[in-house]
Amino acid sequence: MTLLQIAEPGEAPAPHQHRLAVGIDLGTTNSLVATVRSGIPMVLPDEDGRPLLPSVVRYGDDGVTVGYPAQNAQAKDPQNTIVSVKRFMGRALSDLSDVRRFPYHYTDLPGMVQIETRAGRKSPVEISAEILKALRIRAESNLAGELEGAVVTVPAYFDDAQRQATRDAARLAGLNVLRLLNEPTAAAIAYGLDNASEGIYAVYDLGGGTFDLSILKLSRGVFEVLATAGDTALGGDDFDHRVYCWALETQGIGPVSPSDTRLLMMKAREAKENLTLHGSSTLMATLFSGETITATLTAETFTAITQTLVGKTLAPIKKALRDAKLATTDIKGVVMVGGATRMPQVQRAVAEFFGQPPLNNLDPDQVVALGAAIQANVLAGNRAPGEDWLLLDVIPLSLGLETMGGLTEKIISRNSTIPIARAQSFTTFKDGQTAMAIHVVQGERERVDDCRSLARFELHGIPPMVAGAARILVTFQVDADGLLSVTAREETTRVEAAITVKPSYGLSDAEIARMLEESHANAAADMTTRALLEARVDAERIIDATESALAADAELLAADERATLDEAVARLRHLVNEAGADRRALVEATEALNRASEAFAGRRMDRSVAQALTGLSIDTLR
């Protein structure tokens, strides 16, 4: 009654590998994916080196496109090119005030509005999943591996329905969601404020189309959102519009056609961004009407024409402070998020309002994704040893269970922030095994005997199957109070057994420190022990498999073949039972048995295929 971990053929489960985890900023206009590499958070670019993925999905004649190609097709195919889908997540048509801004055909289903496209009716969840899928693929090709999981950010004001929709979209995109994280919290983490002293922080987020202000309280390493306020119709686009109006006015040009408006708005945006970057800029355009425009935008002019817009962001700040019953002097730091916070007049206004310079040395477009990546890295269990382990909201020691050979398999790594849930598949070791013992342990060491035993329970009622066929999903869940529940479920019959334990109970900080020290001191020896135990488990598995194959199909072997196989089994069994067995010898003998049984396995396969095909008509086979 023991557990065996399922691993890919030839691939030993390797709990100490760096686990690939990403942070995703699923934005209204742009999305990003970031990861932590060698301790440094970084955004992962596309194949052309571009960090942003426009959050645009197009259902074209020849399939779905996402990002820049979709964005480029927006003007020519607006109804099938979905922008700003984030605004529709978890929302019914009646919840939305600005749907008429978009040229879509809506269907109002209970719960969430749907959009009719060339490819049929699409839910915002499916559309967002396309964006997330593109980011997953980008990450997997950048990191050359499969992702362990992702942290996806959401606005702090998102309600349950919007959060659930985001989570569903991520799942649909094939992502394992480690956590949904509030965008302002992610930004604060990117600035390392979670390691800073406790206090209250403001996050000022001015993007392309929206403004959000959040007030966060950091205590004991956990961020709490105290208040949020904002304006869903205020952002960088409005600054573009001011430049556009100014350009027409100074040139004495009257109303222009829709295509000239689009062109001029684009030029206005370029002029605005260049002004921040270079201190001066000239807007030059030849309109479709034939008129040409050359207008030089100075910093003074730009500041003057956008003054009211900057002023408009102060009202929500005051509201949020009022809601949280705070004064500006209570704010310990201000984090700047969103491309539009690059504008110097915005920086100045914020500094003046709060009486302190804002934190702005990270790229404001990337800061949310970077913070999410840092959080994902922690949740995936990649933190360096010794970091932050006394924080109350993290698990001080890894939680896992006993697998074959008295080894521990870590399910939730230490330092994971709670609440957290993790599941892993296991299978049976013996043919016909109908029960499984689950032994829950805590600690960093490789051998169960060196860890702390937390609980034991059994799962009964597994239908008898050949070894390795049953799928037992073991789920570890630690709630916000640090309570651990472990559930084991056999997936075909759905029989289930569960237990709840309080893992940190009775462990003092000193004990935790001792267990960690021991695990570091013994790391090398533990790895050797683990490797030996794994080799022994592999050997036992192949002996068992060979013996049951011999019991079933011995007649497929000639006498001399049988003798060779018996000899290989005997040799391996001898090594398995030997007290001071050497890992190399075990591995070699296992490989020898593998080779000796190859032809036999092939013949068994041929026979079972032939048996399966008997009775099938030629038609079925075609």
- We find the least distance from the C-beta atom of residue 340 to ligand AMP, in angstroms, to be 4
Number of residues that bind ligand AMP (CB under 6 A): 19
- We find the least distance from the C-beta atom of residue 27 to ligand AMP, in angstroms, to be 6
- Give the residue with the Cβ less far from ligand AMP, 343 or 575: 343
- We find the least distance from the C-beta atom of residue 358 to ligand AMP, in angstroms, to be 15
From the list 234-242, 291-299, 401-409, 543-551, the region that binds ligand AMP by CB under 6 A is 234-242
DSSP designation for 235: S
Tell me which of 23, 316, 333, 338 binds ligand AMP, using CB under 6 A.
338
Tokens of 156: 């702090």
Q: 165-184: which residues touch ligand AMP (CB under 6 A)? A: none
Q: 576-615: which residues touch ligand AMP (CB under 6 A)? A: none
Tell me which of 20, 22, 25, 29 binds ligand AMP, using CB under 6 A.
29
Is 318 an active-site residue?
Answer: no
342 near ligand AMP, rule: CB under 6 A: yes
Torsion of the alpha carbons at 592, 597, 601 and 604, rounded to the nearest 10:
-170
Residue of 86, 133, 217, 272 marked active site: 86
- Give the residue with the Cβ less far from ligand AMP, 271 or 436: 271
Could you give the C-alpha distances from 511 to 29, 412, 445, 508, 514, in angstroms and in order?
Answer: 49, 19, 14, 5, 5
Bridge partners, residue 317, by sequence: none
Please state the φ and ψ torsions of residue 573, each to the nearest 5 degrees: -60, -40
54 near ligand AMP, rule: CB under 6 A: no
Q: Determine if the peptide bond prior to 357 is cis (ω within 30°).
A: no
How far, in whole angstroms, is CA 266 from its chain's centroid? Answer: 34
From the list 24-32, 85-93, 417-425, 604-612, the region that binds ligand AMP by CB under 6 A is 24-32
CA distance linking residue 382 with residue 16, whole number of Å: 9
Task: Report the phi/psi class of residue 415: left, alpha or beta, with left for phi > 0 and alpha for psi in -120 to 50.
Answer: left
Tell me which of 85, 169, 343, 545 binds ligand AMP, using CB under 6 A.
343
CA distance linking residue 240 with residue 270, whole number of Å: 9
339 near ligand AMP, rule: CB under 6 A: yes
Residue of 46, 130, 205, 534 marked active site: 205
Tell me which of 237, 393, 561, 566 binds ligand AMP, using CB under 6 A.
237
DSSP designation for 44: P
Strand order in the sheet with 496-501: 4-5, 420-427, 472-478, 484-490, 496-501
Query: Is the separation of the CB atoms in 38 and 49 below 8 Å?
Result: no
Burial class (CB in 10 A: 0-12, 13-18, 19+), 602: exposed
- We find the least distance from the C-beta atom of residue 212 to ligand AMP, in angstroms, to be 11
340 near ligand AMP, rule: CB under 6 A: yes
| Max intra-chain CA distance, the chain | 101
How far, in whole angstroms, is CA 618 from its chain's centroid? Answer: 48
- We find the least distance from the C-beta atom of residue 123 to ligand AMP, in angstroms, to be 24
- We find the least distance from the C-beta atom of residue 277 to ligand AMP, in angstroms, to be 5
- We find the least distance from the C-beta atom of residue 433 to ligand AMP, in angstroms, to be 55
Q: 259-298: which residues touch ligand AMP (CB under 6 A)? A: 269, 272-273, 276-277
- We find the least distance from the C-beta atom of residue 339 to ligand AMP, in angstroms, to be 2
CA distance linking residue 12 with residue 101, whole number of Å: 54
- Give the residue with the Cβ less far from ligand AMP, 23 or 405: 23
Is 48 an active-site residue?
Answer: no
Q: 361-380: which residues touch ligand AMP (CB under 6 A)? A: 365
- Give the residue with the Cβ less far from ligand AMP, 51 or 221: 51
Please state the φ and ψ torsions of residue 280, each to the nearest 5 degrees: -155, 160
- Give the residue with the Cβ less far from ligand AMP, 67 or 236: 236
Bridge partners, residue 286, by sequence: 292
Residue 319 identity? K
Q: 197-226: which residues touch ligand AMP (CB under 6 A)? A: 207-208
Q: Which residue has the tokens 């296992």?
A: 590
Residues whose CB is less than 8 angstroms from the CB of residue 41 and which lie 6 or more positions away in sequence, other chains included:
23, 34, 35, 190, 370, 371, 373, 374, 377
487 near ligand AMP, rule: CB under 6 A: no
- We find the least distance from the C-beta atom of residue 118 to ligand AMP, in angstroms, to be 28
- Give the residue with the Cβ less far from ligand AMP, 149 or 236: 236
CA distance linking residue 34 with residue 49, whole number of Å: 13
- We find the least distance from the C-beta atom of residue 477 to ligand AMP, in angstroms, to be 35
From the list 26-34, 156-164, 220-228, 370-378, the region that binds ligand AMP by CB under 6 A is 26-34
Is 212 an active-site residue?
Answer: no
Residue of 46, 126, 168, 183 marked active site: 183
Residue nearest ligand AMP, CB atom distance: 236
Pairing mode, strands 4-5 and 420-427: antiparallel
114 near ligand AMP, rule: CB under 6 A: no
Torsion of the alpha carbons at 473, 161, 217 and 181, rounded to the nearest 10:
50
- We find the least distance from the C-beta atom of residue 51 to ligand AMP, in angstroms, to be 10
Query: Is the separation of the CB atoms in 532 and 583 below 8 Å?
Result: yes
- Terminal-residue alpha carbon distance, the chain: 44
Instruction: State whether residue 257 is helix, strand or coil.
Output: coil
Q: Where are the alpha helices (DSSP H) in 173-210?
A: 183-190
Query: Is the separation of the CB atoms in 301 and 281 below 8 Å?
Result: no
Burial class (CB in 10 A: 0-12, 13-18, 19+), 480: exposed
Query: Is the separation of the CB atoms in 143 and 35 below 8 Å?
Result: yes
Reduce the secondary structure of 396-415 to three states and give it as a string.
CCCEEEEEHHHEEEEEECCC
Is 332 an active-site residue?
Answer: no
What are the catalytic residues? 25, 86, 183, 205
Which residues would be at the binding site for ligand AMP (CB under 6 A)? 27, 29-30, 207-208, 235-237, 269, 272-273, 276-277, 338-340, 342-343, 365
